[in-house]
Structure 1
Amino acid sequence: MSRSLNFKWAVTVVVGVSILIWIGVLFTKGINVPNSWKAIKEIPTVIGWVSPLIVIFVKWGWRFPIFRGWLVVVPDLNGTWKGILQTNWKNPETGEIPGPIDAYLVIKQSLFKMSCVQMTRESKSWSSSSAINIDSDNQIKTLDFVYTNKPRVSVHERSNAHDGACSLDIIQGEERKLIGKYWTDRNTKGEMDFRFLKKELIETFE
């Protein structure tokens, strides 16, 4: 995944919180700061407090709006997104392009990791690598991932397992959207259009 934190601010926050905890420990134990040796001996105690705080932040805390922008760079995409897929594939028998199909995109994201699972009525895809890429100069944020698709057994005769990739623009506003394109190793490509549905992660298309 691309850079998730503003590391300058991250270092500042970790150092600042560590110093505050250190001062609090010294005050609680009645240790004068000039007594450098006793103060230094309390550093492991400080680490013992800071370490779980970092773990909590990486797993859950980064999602809070208070950290958005200045500390946490990436948007929170956790949840289930509902949308449509439109392929450019033509039916070899009729020469027609099928209409759009319904799909769900389920994103599970922590600060430094994420996975994407896409489901339609006939197949399921899951990401082998994924990243949120940010181009601040051009004000562009994209969700990019490589995936493997496996159709249901009932459609194997006309739809084979395949690999592919997609790039979705992240649109944040009153209605959150993921809009973009995909392409596959079957020489097909198409468009995707998702809207945020809910925070819960669904497990099946049904």
Structure 2
Amino acid sequence: MNNATTIRTGATIAATLYTVVLLVLGLYPSDFRYLFAYIPAVVGYGVIVFDKWAWRWPVIHRLTGRPWVTGTWRVILRPSLDSHIPEGGNRGPITTYMTIEQNFWSLHATLRTKESTSRSSNATLEAPENSGTAEIGFLYDNTPRVEHQHRSARHEGACLIAVTGLNPKAATGHYYTSRFTAGDMDFALLNRSTGYGTFTEAENADPEHTAQ
């Protein structure tokens, strides 16, 4: 369980138990005398609301300064010339789709290509105050489809993405893998959906692909 999940779960349990105790004791919020007793419960539920939604409400979003990157992004990978790509491998450019699920305290990314799926195992978001630019880092595990594993084994990698503004629609980045491959990444926001389960689903929602 990651830290963000721990915070949300702990806040929910604590606020709920506290509210139940107050009600069992007959301290109902409808009685003004006991209204302030519910402040800790409100704060607990407030943590949940902030983490999932409130941090990106217009005024609060400016105060947090954290870019909103939730959604599905079209990502063009351009392997470097000295990447150790096995014979028969794709030397790019490679069209992929990355789905990012984001709360205030957590990030998770899934990158899908025609041949494999990568899922983040760790993520960081650094947004220096007043800089306007943030850096997102992912460590990930890549699992190729079985039909490609004879030349493309499971591996680990990392990527670093630079985004500008609170609601970025484009970004750039770099990736590195344990297979001694590396390259550049160019991002374009497709939409805010995180519901695509396969490469084909995301590709079919891509206006550039359907226009071809």
The TM-score by the shorter chain falls in which range? 0.7 to 0.9
Q: Of 191, 197, 200, which residue of structure 2 is paired with 1:203?
A: 197
Select which of 159, 163, 180 maps to 1:187.
180
Report if aligned partners of 2:76, 2:96 keep a CA contact under 8 Å in 1: yes
Match of 2:72 among 64, 72, 80: 80
How do residues 139-158 of structure 1 correspond to structure 2 at under 5 angstroms? 139-158=132-151
Structure 1: state its 5+ residue gaps. Answer: 2-27, 32-40
> How many aligned residue pairs are there?
171
d(CA) in 2 for partners of 1:93, 1:118: 23
- Secondary structure, counterpart of 2:104 in structure 1: coil
Aligned to 1:112: 105
C-alpha contact 2:133 2:162 (8 A) present in aligned 1 = yes
Equivalent AA in structure 1 for residue 73 of structure 2: W
CA contact (8 A) 1:90 1:97 kept: no
Kindly provide the amino acid, as one letter, of the partner of residue 159 in structure 2.
C
Q: Which amino acid letter does the alignment assign opposite residue 142 of structure 1?
A: E
Listed one character per residue, the Cα deviations across residues 26-80 of structure 1 (whole Å, up to 9, x for unaligned) are xx8566xxxxxxxxx654222233332332122222121221222x231111110
Amino acid at match of 2:98: L
Question: Match for residue 66 of structure 1?
Answer: 59
Corresponding residue to 1:57 among 50, 57, 63: 50
Q: What amino acid is aligned across from residue 156 of structure 2 in structure 1?
A: D
Change (3 A) 1:90 1:59: closer
1:83-98 pair list within 5 angstroms: 83-88=75-80, 89=83, 98=91
CA distance in 2, matches of 1:157, 1:122: 12
Residue 177 of structure 1 is matched in structure 2 by 170
Q: Mind listing any 5+ residue stretches in structure 2 that lack a counterpart? A: 3-29, 201-212
Structure having the higher Rg: 1
Residue 44 of structure 1 aligns to a residue whose secondary structure is helix
Offset from partner CA, 1:149-198 (integer Å, 9 cap, x none): 01111111221111010101113489611211001111110111110111
Change (3 A) 1:113 1:92: closer
What is the TM-score of this pair, normalised by structure 2? 0.70
Find the aligned partners of 1:138 and 1:91 in 2 and give their Cα distance.
37
Paired residues for 1:155-174 under 5 Å? 155-172=148-165
- TM-score normalized with structure 1 length: 0.72
Letter in 1 for 2:116: S
Post-superposition shift, 1:120? 0.5
